[in-house]
């Protein structure tokens, strides 16, 4: 399927943490299928709860599930 936004290239699929993300390598647009946003939100909440109480080093940027999913 061609990118709905730029129409120039085909969408690529990537599996990140159990969620399939379709993205355009040309314009870097991201598309989610039905239910995938809910999976991302659920996993993000679960990851936030499991990280509670752990001190974060001030010089390191914390990577959350959203960052991990869309870092490609």
| pLDDT tens-digit series, residues 6-56 | 888 899 998 887 888 899 999 989 888 899 988 888 887 777 655 555 545
Question: pTM surpassing 0.75?
Answer: no
* Strands of the 12-16 sheet, one edge to the other: 12-16, 19-23, 30-31
Collapsing DSSP states into helix, strand and coil, what is residue 20? strand
Residue-wise burial string across 38-49, b where 16 or more C-beta atoms lie within 10 A, e elsewhere:
eebeebbeeeee
Q: Please report, for the chain, the start and end positions of each structural domain, with discontinuous segments joined by +.
A: 12-54+61-69
End-to-end CA distance of the chain, in Å? 19
Q: Quote the pLDDT of residue 17.
A: 79
């Amino acid at each position: 399927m061609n990118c709905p936004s730029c129409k120039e290239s085909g969408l690529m699929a990537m599996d990140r943490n159990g969620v399939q993300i379709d993205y355009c390598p040309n314009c870097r647009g991201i598309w989610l299928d039905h239910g995938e946003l809910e999976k991302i939100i659920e996993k993000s909440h679960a990851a936030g709860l499991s990280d509670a109480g752990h001190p974060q080093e001030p010089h390191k940027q914390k990577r959350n599930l959203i960052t991990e999913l869309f870092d490609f």
